[in-house]
Structure 1
Amino acid sequence: MMDQEKYREAVRNMRHSPASLERRGECWSEEDKEKLSEMFDDDVGITEMAVIFQRSETAIMQQIEKQDLYDRTLHPTRQRNNSVPYKCLCEVCVADPALCPLHKTCTNNQEET
């Protein structure tokens, strides 16, 4: 690993000019996906992984979610905000019935009996 000052400079550059990242926009190789998974299991931080992979922190987080490394599909209680997804997913509701004026009449919201 690089010394602390070089690491800070790399993080600063990554956050202030993400266009300068070498791997920005590239597809993830299977090897990189495996390495990310291993690093995640070894409790390596998001920022450190971003510096190593030369990708944004957002790209790292998206890949972690895509690989389901938090095991949200196996452990529904680990869902964001510990909530169950809303039933109504029509184009008007967009998963938030509180914002939908048609929520009470929406056919997607009907309980199956």
Structure 2
Amino acid sequence: MKKFLVLLFAFFISAQAFALDLQQAKSQGLVGETNTGYVAAVTSNPSPEVRKLVTGVNALRKDRYKKIAVSHGLTTAEVGKLAYKKAIEKTESGHYYQNAAGKWVRK
């Protein structure tokens, strides 16, 4: 479990390439953390830039989740749920995230 947490921490550090854009999108209320460990557009009609950002971030996360899942005997869904919990802890006040029911809420 300790190795898993180290890998999860490394994942968040490696995502820094998207951090500035992702942070801007979160600050503007355009994207939020989903309850599955990925990000999604908060609005029903996101711009092409937001869609591209979400796709890119989620592709990186999916790849990381697969690697972590294989090395720890978990499913990618289980890894996503664990990552979601960590992401919620790090979510800044005013940013969106999905609650367990899938409803967008502001922290």
TM-score range, shorter chain: 0.3 to 0.5
Name the structure where helix makes up a greater proportion of residues: 2
Name the structure where strand makes up a greater proportion of residues: 2
Instruction: Determine which structure has greater relative contact order: mean sequence separation of CA pairs < 8 Å that are 6+ residues apart, divided by chain length.
Output: 2
Higher CA-based Rg:
1
The TM-score, its normalising length taken from structure 2, stands at 0.37
